[in-house]
Chain A
Amino acid sequence: MTNALSLTMDSLVETLVMVFASSFLSFVIGLFTAILLYALQPGNGMHPNAVLHTVLSKIINIMRSFPFIILIILLMPFTRKIVGTTIGVRAAVIPLSLAAAPFIARLIESAFMEIDKGLIEAARIMGSRNSDVIFKVLIPECLPQIVDAITMTVINLIAYSAMAGTVGAGGLGDLAIRYGYQRFRTDVMIMAVVSIILIVEIVQMAGSWISKRLRNKR
């Protein structure tokens, strides 16, 4: 019998790598998309373009409504182009990032939209360029909400990563299915599930702590 602990450890590392890499990528793509959505939004004086805004918004909705397992399969040709393979941890990062990016884009966009219009006007009247408004006003003002959005995304990605076993990426979810379910190894099942719960708990605590500190400083 294979040692449950070492099995779990290997899978834990795979999960962490997948989640960390895809969180980072989805944040970069999501933040950029949110800024784009905001800038295209008619009525805030940047680059209003109702058509482009609607198109981008629809694309995000479509991406968000895809079941993740289908997204993995649909993205296979694209994944192969980018990382050269459709199997393994590296291959899983692509669909994971693209599944989470629209989610985080929406969260950050809604944080942007909640910023008082008066602040943007004050920034404008002081001679701010669009980039000043975005990087010196919008993002700093929304930082606690952005941290919350990242926390939520990371937790979602931990759940999604369990499905990435389908493309042979391994990870804790895959371990639970292959050993815990298919080979009746209850000990492995328990360890995998407990590990997932622990990671989620730690991420949530860290995220809440940072966001609370940011809010308290105000």
Chain B
Amino acid sequence: MRISCNNLKKAYSGLHAVNGVSISAEESRITCIIGRSGAGKSTLIRLLSLLERADEGEVMYDGARVDDLKQKEILTMRRSMGMIFQLFNLFSSRNVLKNVLYPLEIAKVPKKEAVEKAMALLDTVGLADKAHNSISSLSGGQKQRVAIARALVLNPKVLFCDEATSALDPQSTKEILQLIKSIQRKLNLTVVMVTHQMEVVKSVCDYLVVMDNGRVIEEGDAQKHFANPESDILAGFLRNLMIADADMNSPDGRRIGGV
């Protein structure tokens, strides 16, 4: 499913969080929206996922306008989208399996079929053996895996990721990104990802959108823009990443290049 928007605007108490954004996240591609905090990227993904309504502009799924749909039609539309969050947002009153069952329950899928489906997804994310564990017994990376299973259990066509790895340690971040990428390829998903972590963008991104001050300041094929950043912001992100890499690679952990 192609997710696009046209001249989107959203203001909170007079402040323009998103100020005239038009982008297109093509089908079967990972689109990353990167920017510093306060750039408006979280607001943008909330507008695209219809969690909030824009003040102005349009949101389109496969070219058809969806932002003016009635609440009931949005409910149906939501069956075709999944979303994962920075803090996982799992239900602590339910165990792992029951969290993954939730979307199936509200979609009124028969119990037996639902359990089979949920278990299959837990298997995909490598947590089948933890199906009956409580959420609090899991690590951050495992929680995000459960969240991914839950987001994908209704076979959505698009997965929104809102800072999905920001609360994870580097190793878990890597694993979650690999998981998202492999699932994306396998299921032919459209992925829209918001992050401020350049290493995330670098490892999975197909199409890059750079935001600042509520506007898109740079966008295009990720590899091209990594090689030749147009904006200072992207150049800055890439420079920081190089410094971080150098830090990790230097044997005694000291910074290289006198920075």
Chain A residues engaging chain B, CB cutoff 8 angstroms: 116, 118-119, 121-129, 132, 136-137, 140-141, 143, 217-218
Q: A121-B51, A126-B150 are in contact. Are A116 and B89 (CB under 8 A)?
A: yes
Q: Smallest distance from the beta carbon of A143 to chain B beta carbons, Å?
A: 7
Could you tell me the distance between the alpha carbons of A218 and B90 in the complex, rounded to whole angstroms? 12
Could you tell me the distance between the alpha carbons of A132 and B75 in the complex, rounded to whole angstroms? 12
Q: A118-B85, A118-B87, A218-B134 are in contact. Are A129 and B94 (CB under 8 A)?
A: no
- Closest 4 pairs (CB-CB, A-B): A122-B89, A127-B78, A140-B93, A118-B89
Which chain A residues border B83 with CB–CB below 8 Å? 122, 125
B23 at the interface (CB under 8 A from A): no
A128 & B106 in contact (Cβ 8 Å cutoff): yes
Which chain B residues border A136 with CB–CB below 8 Å? 102, 105-106
Looking at chain A's contact residues, the main secondary structure is: helix
A141 & B134 in contact (Cβ 8 Å cutoff): no
A137 & B78 in contact (Cβ 8 Å cutoff): no
B103 & A127 in contact (Cβ 8 Å cutoff): yes
B89 & A119 in contact (Cβ 8 Å cutoff): yes
29 A-B contact pairs sorted by A residue (CB < 8 Å): A116-B89, A118-B85, A119-B89, A121-B51, A122-B83, A122-B85, A122-B89, A124-B51, A125-B49, A125-B83, A126-B103, A126-B154, A127-B75, A127-B76, A127-B107, A127-B154, A129-B75, A129-B106, A132-B106, A137-B91, A140-B93, A140-B94, A141-B92, A143-B93, A218-B92, A218-B93, A218-B134, A218-B135, A218-B136
Most-contacted residue by chain B among A116, A123, A124, A125 (CB, 10 A): A125
Could you tell me the distance between the alpha carbons of A116 and B83 in the complex, rounded to whole angstroms? 16
Q: Smallest distance from the beta carbon of A218 to chain B beta carbons, Å?
A: 5
B141 at the interface (CB under 8 A from A): no
Interface string of B209-242 (1 = CB under 8 A from A): 0000000000000000000000000000000000
B81 & A125 in contact (Cβ 8 Å cutoff): yes
Could you tell me the distance between the alpha carbons of A179 and B256 in the complex, rounded to whole angstroms? 89
Could you tell me the distance between the alpha carbons of A195 and B92 in the complex, rounded to whole angstroms? 39
B35 at the interface (CB under 8 A from A): no
Which residue from chain A places its CB closest to the CB of B83 in the assembled complex? A125
B82 at the interface (CB under 8 A from A): yes
Which residue from chain A places its CB closest to the CB of B92 in the assembled complex? A218
A125 & B78 in contact (Cβ 8 Å cutoff): yes
Q: Smallest distance from the beta carbon of B136 to chain A beta carbons, Å?
A: 5
Which residue from chain B places its CB closest to the CB of A142 in the assembled complex? B93
Which residue from chain A places its CB closest to the CB of B134 in the assembled complex? A218
Which residue from chain B places its CB closest to the CB of A143 in the assembled complex? B93
